[in-house]
Structure 1
Amino acid sequence: SPPRGATPAGPATPAPGDVLAAAQALAGVGAWAAWLRLLQALPPRGALALLAALPPAARCGLLCAPASVRKGLLALCGTPDGARQPHADEVPASERTAHALLAGTLALLAGRQNLAREWAESAQLTARQPAATGRPATAIPPGLHTLLRLTAPGAASADEYTNQCKMLLLHL
């Protein structure tokens, strides 16, 4: 028989707010390895949704994360080609655009300029697609304009490039 208080199906899944609070606490104390494991344990797209839900101050903490954590986050994003697969149509366009924008920003912060550009172009294509209801596409998010500008040829040599990359993360 299961231990007292446990259900035969296993322990209860934490509520989304509990996971967000745990992620914020781990990021706040710099427990990056545990933080990354928490995100890796979430269902597909759950990690990116959690990152998007973090307040800007918590996302700012990512700038202090070790390179291995940033690389792990980037791995959670998948590939720009994967975001355009047929099953991706089940996800609302606004969520796919936000995913691509976040993935592109993480790639930019990891020094992967070409991958960041691919994500920016994917976000741009998704943002311009008309909604399934036949309504015109919504406006392109300001962060996407910034990501496109920061991934343009020669942008990495511009003054204040690093600071602009960091500011993009804060304003997603």
Structure 2
Amino acid sequence: MKIDPTRSWMAIEERLATTENPRHRQLLQVLLDHLQAEASGDFQRLVSTLSDDPQYHFWISDSGFDAGPKGFDAVTSHYTQLYEEGRNVVQYDIERIVVDDNCIVTEGVFHQVYPGRVLATRGMDVDDPDSPYALTMRLVLFWPYDDDGKLTGEDSYSDGLMFTPERITRLNPEDLPTSYAGRSA
């Protein structure tokens, strides 16, 4: 499995290219900026996509129902931890996009890079804590927006438990994007 973060926003770019509604274009552009900023580690760009009081809701069995950071400080701390742990490298193969004036819904297969040592803190047995792994799951994300076109949160729904052995794949160095090179897992 080769992780390619650019695939996370290819579907958004394609949809943006065929969308004429100005409000829908605005929301798609904000989502595109959000995904690219998260992948590249551009914290200021990422934060610029958020409203003043974002509310994240994770509806995933082993993450706690309605877990997720609430409020600007908690959400920015969430992203700081994501970057510090090296979990911001993802490939979200978006298969479906639904857009209305206040929300975008994406659905697809989500692959997130986890350093082995981070998986171990989540209770997973890993062969090598210094190796990177991919966690794979089917994911539906609701991306709600305020009147200014800023994200007011993320509502995540998965197809079951996240941290199970069948979802984890050990990665080789060549499976990682060059932006991941040099990180200590």
Fold match (TM-score > 0.5)? no
Larger Rg: 1
More strand by proportion, 1 or 2? 2
Q: Which has the higher helix share?
A: 1
Q: With the length of structure 2 as denominator, give the TM-score of the two structures.
A: 0.26
